[in-house]
């Protein structure tokens, strides 16, 4: 690779690193072109040599975020462990990831950015995360009360993701796990529990155990 291009790539990564620092410290508003430039030691407009606009930067941060999350979840899975243990491990990894940098979790799953449209690349990463979760599915999660059309939609969705080896019950189970865990987590990172005196971690664990008890 060209040396020019190598430096360029380094600078791009540096910009993203600083953006994540700003995100962790000051929230989404901290990801300002001027602020990043200042921390990088250049003026604001210089950033536009590396990213078409602020949205492009955010989009890349989101894509990176999904990949990082997928890596984390995948790493948490011990293939030798029984399903229940795998589910606990992935759920724990998910919450640890979320509470470590709440703003990053909100960047991915909170209020969407106005102009944002997920690129295909991001979808791959999101699907990787979902696949990691589904890898902890028990052989048969048991029946669910579900409208008939939903199973058809789950089938099509599963085919798109290449989950042909999974049953519709397992796919519904995966979606349910994801939505329930997200339910507690999003309330937690949005600060909705802060005035209740409740420990979100305990509510989270209760949900995880309820999910496991579902089929055992």
Partner DNA sequence: AATGTGAGTTAGAGGCTATAACAACCGAAG
Partner DNA sequence: CTTCGGTTGTTATAGCCTCTAACTCACATT
Residues of this chain that interact with DNA (CB under 7 A) are: 2-4, 7-8, 11, 31-35, 37, 42-46, 48-50, 52-55
Closest approach of DNA to the CB of residue 15, in Å: 9
Query: Per DSSP, which regions of the chain are E strands?
Result: none
**For tokens 């509470």, what's the residue?**
99
Instruction: Choose from a second copy, DNA, none: what does 156 bind? Cβ within 5-8 Å by kind.
Output: a second copy
Contact 92, 76 (CB under 8 A): yes
**Subset of residues 111 to 170 that bind a second copy, contact rule: CB under 8 A:** 111-112, 114, 118, 123, 144-147, 149-150, 153-154, 156-157, 160
Closest approach of DNA to the CB of residue 195, in Å: 24
Instruction: Choose from a second copy, DNA, none: what does 53 bind? Cβ within 5-8 Å by kind.
Output: DNA
Give whichever of 3 and 165 is closer to DNA, judged by the CB atom: 3
Give whichever of 25 and 156 is closer to DNA, judged by the CB atom: 25
Query: What is the DSSP secondary structure assignment for residue 202, as one 8-state letter?
Result: H
- Is residue 53 close enough to count as binding a second copy by CB under 8 A? no
DSSP code string of 96-156:
HHHHHSHHHHHHHHSSPPTT----HHHHHHHHHHHHHHHTT--S--------HHHHHHHHH
CB atoms within 10 A of CB 35: 16
3-state helix, strand, coil in the chain (%, to 5): 70, 0, 30
Give CA–CA dist 213/216, Å, rounded. Answer: 5
Contact 17, 32 (CB under 8 A): no
Closest approach of DNA to the CB of residue 34, in Å: 4
Give whichever of 48 and 151 is closer to DNA, judged by the CB atom: 48
Give whichever of 42 and 203 is closer to a second copy, judged by the CB atom: 203
Q: Which helix (H) or strand (E) holds 21?
A: helix 3-26
Instruction: Choose from a second copy, DNA, none: what does 106 bind? Cβ within 5-8 Å by kind.
Output: a second copy
Instruction: Choose from a second copy, DNA, none: what does 205 bind? Cβ within 5-8 Å by kind.
Output: a second copy
Contact 18, 36 (CB under 8 A): yes
Residues that bind a second copy (CB under 8 A): 26-29, 106, 109-112, 114, 118, 123, 144-147, 149-150, 153-154, 156-157, 160, 172, 175-176, 179-184, 186-187, 190-192, 195-199, 202-203, 205-207, 209-210, 213
């Amino acid at each position: 690779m060209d040396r020019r291009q190598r430096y360029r790539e380094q600078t791009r990564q540096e910009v993203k690193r600083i953006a994540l620092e700003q995100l962790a410290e000051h929230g989404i508003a901290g990801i300002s072109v001027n602020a990043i430039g200042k921390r990088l030691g250049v003026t604001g407009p210089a950033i536009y040599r590396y990213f078409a606009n602020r949205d492009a930067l955010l989009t890349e941060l989101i894509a990176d975020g999904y990949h990082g999350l997928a890596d984390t979840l995948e790493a948490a899975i011990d293939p030798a462990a029984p399903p229940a243990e795998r589910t606990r491990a992935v759920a724990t990894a998910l919450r640890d990831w979320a509470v470590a940098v709440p703003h990053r979790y909100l960047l991915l799953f909170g209020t969407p950015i106005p102009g944002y449209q997920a690129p295909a690349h991001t979808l791959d990463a999101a699907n990787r995360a979902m696949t990691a979760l589904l890898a902890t599915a028990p052989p048969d999660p048991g029946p669910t009360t579900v409208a008939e059309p939903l199973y058809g939609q789950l089938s099509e969705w599963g085919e798109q993701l290449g989950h042909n080896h999974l049953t519709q019950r397992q796919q519904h189970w995966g979606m349910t796990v994801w939505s329930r865990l997200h339910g507690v987590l999003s309330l937690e990172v949005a600060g909705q529990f802060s005035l209740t005196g409740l420990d979100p971690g305990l509510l989270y664990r209760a949900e995880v155990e309820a999910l496991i008890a579902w089929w055992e």
